């Protein structure tokens, strides 16, 4: 296989580790924990793994070699930069426990565990993937580990391979499944431990003990490079407004981080929209106001960042989507009959069969978006919100509003648009030095948790704004992060998503600066990720983390 010169050099990079993971580890138990909410319900569902203490690793004294441990690893959910380094960290960690230890990778995500598809990960395989992006070493998948029969199938192959533990590398849903699996295996005294690792570029798996989910740093640096390039183009041509949608359906962490890195003219934060109960019309007026004022200064160009999940945070749109889902799933016309209606009749029929308030919102939408809302449904008949081109929706509505203002002689500028969606571009990038180090440390921490006999824990590496040598490794009980939420009409335990905190330092700093950025052109052009050079260029964490820890 031919590899690039950069990949050859990256293969030589040795990720940095916290001091406590470089030698024999001393385990320090902290306070016993409780779930973030719904304590009684969570404890009842997880009697064997609830209330465990926080764990911190410190440098210990030399000890004799331990018995070999065999570990299985699963990549679950969407890709995130650094996954290969987590696996490398686990591999090196278990080999340090005992050279006879073995690591197995289950192929294609959790389904590989259920269907008994796996490979042994040897040093020859691992060495080809160190410091590389993607999940292609074993592949990932979105099969959920939720059912007893799947747990039992997983236990069967675990026993066949002599596994001491499974490591699930995933986001909030995947680690929720890991917690359920850990509880079941503990309940039946299976002898198989389960450890989680926090992954998601969305940044919504975080708390006091999980300061960052891996991949977020690299992905936002990739997006920020692209945004910077577009800003440079906009400032050169001076004739387009670029509407950029950024991945992150449940939270606006990516949009906020990219704004802090690049200083665009407009950045929408979904959590702010929800708190202020803003309407679609109010958002359009806000954006239009900035565009008009910039035009008055002769600047008929700019950049707007829009979070992928914005629509679901706009109260009136949320109600509309809910009504459409109910109507089109259970309406008086079948889906086939509905699609055969003429377009004008179809939209009119929908408007007649929803509430007057929602009908008004529906009729204000560009026809293409309105049609999209009525046609793109999942197998349950629900609107597929992730398919809505929010950037085009807002661009078209702003254009319509500006045309109204131009007719009323309230606007005399020019308005041209370009649309972008950045998502997949960042998910499999070669990890930044920060993510390479952080992920390797998470993997090493997972192996240490296994060697100390722990289960139901997530790898935790904290103090991330300090040099890696000073990072604090340990474990946090997954039950500590859980609450009860309604899913498919049932209350179930899940890890609580971390949204942008509107009283947090990163958001407050952004608010203090966005007025300046809106009307001037203070663009920052971050450029590509740097892997070689001074630490202040190559090893820096996210702006979000810096502000949170300042």
Tell me what the mean pLDDT of segment 208-229 comes to.
Answer: 97
Tell me what the mean pLDDT of segment 230-245 comes to.
Answer: 98
- How high does pLDDT run on average in the chain? 94
Confidence of residue 503 (pLDDT cuts 50, 70, 90): very high
Rounded to whole angstroms, the Cα distance separating 88 from 18 reads 16
Count of the separate structural domains present in the chain: 2
Q: Is residue 10 part of a domain?
A: no
CA 164 to centroid of chain Cα atoms = 29
> Are residues 423 and 511 both part of a single domain?
yes
Confidence of residue 62 (pLDDT cuts 50, 70, 90): low
Query: For 144-164, what is each residue's pLDDT tens digit?
Result: 998 999 999 999 999 999 999
Q: What is the CATH number of the domain that holds 97?
A: 3.40.50.450
Q: Which residue has the tokens 């009119």?
A: 348
- The tokens describing 477, both together, are 């009980």
Which of 472, 495, 518 terminates a domain? The answer is 495
Handedness of CA 172, 428, 388, 382 (dihedral sign): negative
Please tell me the predicted confidence (pLDDT) of residue 335: 56
Query: For 193-218, what is each residue's pLDDT tens digit?
Result: 999 999 999 999 999 999 999 999 99
Which of 495, 520, 540 terminates a domain? The answer is 495
Which of 495, 519, 541 terminates a domain? The answer is 495
Number of CB atoms found within 10 A of residue 165's CB:
27
Q: Is residue 21 part of a domain?
A: no
Please tell me the predicted confidence (pLDDT) of residue 407: 96
Of 410, 2, 465, nearest to 217 by C-alpha is: 465
pLDDT at 380 over 60: no
Confidence of residue 367 (pLDDT cuts 50, 70, 90): confident
b/e 312-334 (16+ beta carbons within 10 angstroms → b): bbbebbeebbebbbebbeebeee
Confidence of residue 334 (pLDDT cuts 50, 70, 90): low
468 CB-side CA count, 13 A: 21
H or E, element range at 517: helix 505-519
Most confident of the following: 256-260, 329-333, 347-351: 256-260
The larger pLDDT score, comparing residue 336 to residue 37, is at 37
357 CB-side CA count, 13 A: 10
Rounded to whole angstroms, the Cα distance separating 327 from 351 reads 11
CA distances from 358 to 299, 362, 365, 393 (A): 36, 6, 11, 17
pLDDT at 59 over 70: yes
Of 261, 248, 250, 252, nearest to 222 by C-alpha is: 261
Please tell me the predicted confidence (pLDDT) of residue 436: 98
Query: What is the pTM (predicted TM-score) of this model?
Result: 0.94
Q: Which residue has the tokens 């902290």?
A: 30
Q: What share of the chain is helix, strand, coil (3-state, %, to 5)?
A: 45, 15, 35
Residues paired with residue 487 on neighbouring β-strands, in sequence order = 490
Confidence of residue 63 (pLDDT cuts 50, 70, 90): low
> Are residues 306 and 342 both part of a single domain?
yes
* 191 contacts 177 by C-beta, under 8 angstroms: no
Please tell me the predicted confidence (pLDDT) of residue 6: 92
Confidence of residue 104 (pLDDT cuts 50, 70, 90): very high
Please tell me the predicted confidence (pLDDT) of residue 489: 73
> Are residues 257 and 343 both part of a single domain?
yes
Q: Is residue 12 part of a domain?
A: no
DSSP letter assigned to residue 412:
-
Q: Is residue 22 part of a domain?
A: no
Handedness of CA 269, 275, 276, 278 (dihedral sign): positive
What percentage of the chain reaches a pLDDT higher than 70? 95
- The tokens describing 486, both together, are 């309604």
> Are residues 374 and 464 both part of a single domain?
no
The larger pLDDT score, comparing residue 549 to residue 388, is at 549
Give catalytic residue positions.
Answer: 202
Please tell me the predicted confidence (pLDDT) of residue 382: 65
> Are residues 225 and 308 both part of a single domain?
yes
Rounded to whole angstroms, the Cα distance separating 212 from 388 reads 28
> Are residues 312 and 368 both part of a single domain?
yes
Tell me what the mean pLDDT of segment 25-41 comes to.
Answer: 95
> Are residues 167 and 48 both part of a single domain?
yes
Q: Is residue 25 part of a domain?
A: no
For residue 368, give every residue at least 6 positions away whose Cβ sits within 8 Å of its Cβ, in sequence order, or none: 392, 396
H or E, element range at 195: strand 193-198
> Are residues 364 and 266 both part of a single domain?
yes
> Are residues 176 and 302 both part of a single domain?
no
* 520 contacts 302 by C-beta, under 8 angstroms: no
**Apex 545 CA angle, 539 and 550, nearest 5:** 105
3 state SS of 458:
strand
Please tell me the predicted confidence (pLDDT) of residue 341: 72
Please tell me the predicted confidence (pLDDT) of residue 64: 60
Confidence of residue 377 (pLDDT cuts 50, 70, 90): low
* 292 contacts 413 by C-beta, under 8 angstroms: yes
> Are residues 300 and 281 both part of a single domain?
yes
CA 102 to centroid of chain Cα atoms = 30
Please tell me the predicted confidence (pLDDT) of residue 408: 96
φ and ψ of 416, to 5 deg: -120, 150
Q: What is the CATH number of the domain that holds 346?
A: 3.40.50.460
Q: Is residue 6 part of a domain?
A: no
Q: Is residue 1 part of a domain?
A: no
Please tell me the predicted confidence (pLDDT) of residue 347: 86
**Apex 73 CA angle, 71 and 74, nearest 5:** 155
> Are residues 106 and 191 both part of a single domain?
yes
Tell me what the mean pLDDT of segment 79-91 comes to.
Answer: 98
Domain that holds residue 227: 217-427+505-549
Rounded to whole angstroms, the Cα distance separating 292 from 22 reads 58
Rounded to a whole number, what is the distance in angstroms from the first to the last CA of the chain?
A: 45
- Region of 466 on the Ramachandran plot (φ > 0 left; ψ -120 to 50 alpha; else beta): beta
Rounded to whole angstroms, the Cα distance separating 101 from 1 reads 28
> Are residues 480 and 393 both part of a single domain?
no
- The tokens describing 33, both together, are 């924990």
Tell me what the mean pLDDT of segment 445-450 comes to.
Answer: 98
Number of CB atoms found within 10 A of residue 286's CB:
16
Confidence of residue 332 (pLDDT cuts 50, 70, 90): low
Q: Is residue 133 part of a domain?
A: yes
- The tokens describing 39, both together, are 């304590």
């Amino acid at each position: 296989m031919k590899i690039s010169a950069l990949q050859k050099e990256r293969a030589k990079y040795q990720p940095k580790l916290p001091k406590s993971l470089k030698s024999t580890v001393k385990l320090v138990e902290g306070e016993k924990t409780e779930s973030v909410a719904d304590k009684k319900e969570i404890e009842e569902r997880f009697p064997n793994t609830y209330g465990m203490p926080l764990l911190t690793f410190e440098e210990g004294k030399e000890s004799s070699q331990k018995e070999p441990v065999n570990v299985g690893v699963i990549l679950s959910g969407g890709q995130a930069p650094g996954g290969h380094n987590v696996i490398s960290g686990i591999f090196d960690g278990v080999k340090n426990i005992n050279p006879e230890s073995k690591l197995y990778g289950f192929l294609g995500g959790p389904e590989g565990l259920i269907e008994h598809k796996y490979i042994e990960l040897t040093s020859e395989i691992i060495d080809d993937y160190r410091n590389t992006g993607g999940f292609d070493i074993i592949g990932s998948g979105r099969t959920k580990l939720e059912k007893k029969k799947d747990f039992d199938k997983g236990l069967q192959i675990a026993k066949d391979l002599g596994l001491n533990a499974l490591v699930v590398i995933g986001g909030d849903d995947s680690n929720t499944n890991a917690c359920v699996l850990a509880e079941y295996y503990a309940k039946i005294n299976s002898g198989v431990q389960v450890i989680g690792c926090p992954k998601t570029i969305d940044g919504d798996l975080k708390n006091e003990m999980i300061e960052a989910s891996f991949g977020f740093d690299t992905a936002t640096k990739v997006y920020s490079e692209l945004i910077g390039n577009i800003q440079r183009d906009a400032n050169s041509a001076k004739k387009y407004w670029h509407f950029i949608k950024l991945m992150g359906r449940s939270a606006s962490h990516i949009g906020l981080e990219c704004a802090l890195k690049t200083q665009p003219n407009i950045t929408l934060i979904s959590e702010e929209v929800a708190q202020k109960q803003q309407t679609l019309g109010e958002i359009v007026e806000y954006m239009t106001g900035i565009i008009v004022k910039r035009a008055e200064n002769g600047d008929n160009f700019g950049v707007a960042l829009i979070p992928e999940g914005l629509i679901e945070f706009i109260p009136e749109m949320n109600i509309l989507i809910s009504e459409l889902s109910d109507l089109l799933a259970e309406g008086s016309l079948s889906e086939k009959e509905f699609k055969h209606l003429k377009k004008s009749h179809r939209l009119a029929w929908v408007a007649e069969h929803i509430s007057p308030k929602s009908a008004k919102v529906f009729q204000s939408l560009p026809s293409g978006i309105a049609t999209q809302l009525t046609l793109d449904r999942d197998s349950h008949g629900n609107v597929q919100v992730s398919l809505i081109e929010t950037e085009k929706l807002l661009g078209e509505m702003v254009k319509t509003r500006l045309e109204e203002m131009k007719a009323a002689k309230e606007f005399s500028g020019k308005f041209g648009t370009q649309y972008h969606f950045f998502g997949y571009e960042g998910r499999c990038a070669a990890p930044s030095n920060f993510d390479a180090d952080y992920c390797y440390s998470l993997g090493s921490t997972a192996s240490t948790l296994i060697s100390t006999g722990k289960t139901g824990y997530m790898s935790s590496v904290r103090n991330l704004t300090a040099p890696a040598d000073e990072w604090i490794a340990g474990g946090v009980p997954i039950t500590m992060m859980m609450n009860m939420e309604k899913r498919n009409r049932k209350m179930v335990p899940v890890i609580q998503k971390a949204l942008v905190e509107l009283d947090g330092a990163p958001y407050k700093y952004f608010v203090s600066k966005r007025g300046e950025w809106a009307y001037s052109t203070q663009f920052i052009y971050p450029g590509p990720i740097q892997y070689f050079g001074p630490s202040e260029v190559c090893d820096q964490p996210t702006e979000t983390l810096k502000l949170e820890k300042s």
